[in-house]
Amino acid sequence: MKNLFLAIACVAISLPTFSQVKVRPGLRLGLNASNITNHYNSERVFGLNGAVFVNIHLANFYELQPELTYSNQGFNGVQHRYVGSFDPLITSSDSDVNTHYLGLGIANKFYVVPNLGLHFIVGPSLEFNISDNSYYDITPVDLSLFGGIGYEFPMGLGIEARYKQGIVDVRDGYYDIYYDDYNYDDEYYNGKNKLNSVFQFNVYYKFGM
């Protein structure tokens, strides 16, 4: 009997916590301004990003949000090829390099003041290269970390600004084929990673349930 009363007491204490959990699906659409790091004379290019997500409201100050994402990223590279160049991303094309990614992100949202829409965002993402127009091979998988700030209105409509930083070199096999074999050691071949760098500006909506 004593154990029964204890179990009932634990359930009663837990009910208010579980009653605050809310699950809401949503959509996000936005604009990317992307580039890669440590690349000579490269410039940012614009592309689209989008996501479908499930927002899990766990507390007044915290939400967990798994996301299935699409992101069009790339850069505008140099306009000529260096003689003797072995860097896979130094091209002679005058067109933008575009890469299309599908991925999974885990956004953690921290609300500055409970019941106020202002929040900070941080999390990881794993993305897969589904197509690109680069002459050379782009790494098929990218792992990124992102962070940002947003504001959500009471009806579920929100705006966000995120920065996403890749941590995997975008040149597929570069260190095995180019850097190690040819042992270059100058401004372009000194082992500096070339990583995705993306600013994202988004609008999203959470559906009520």
List all residues 6 or more positions away from 96 whose beta carbon is below 8 Å from its beta carbon: 45, 74, 75, 76
The pLDDT tens digits of the residues spanning 155-173 come to 999 999 999 999 999 988 7
**54 CA to centre of own chain:** 16
Count of residues for the chain? 209
Entry pTM: 0.78
**69 CA to centre of own chain:** 8
Alpha carbons 201 and 205: distance in angstroms, whole number: 14
Q: What is the mean pLDDT of the chain?
A: 81
Tell me, which fold does domain 22-206 have in CATH? Answer: Porin (2.40.160)
Instruction: Break the chain into its structural domains and give their ranges.
Output: 22-206
**pLDDT confidence tier of residue 110, bands split at 50, 70 and 90:** very high
- Rounded mean pLDDT of 151-156? 93
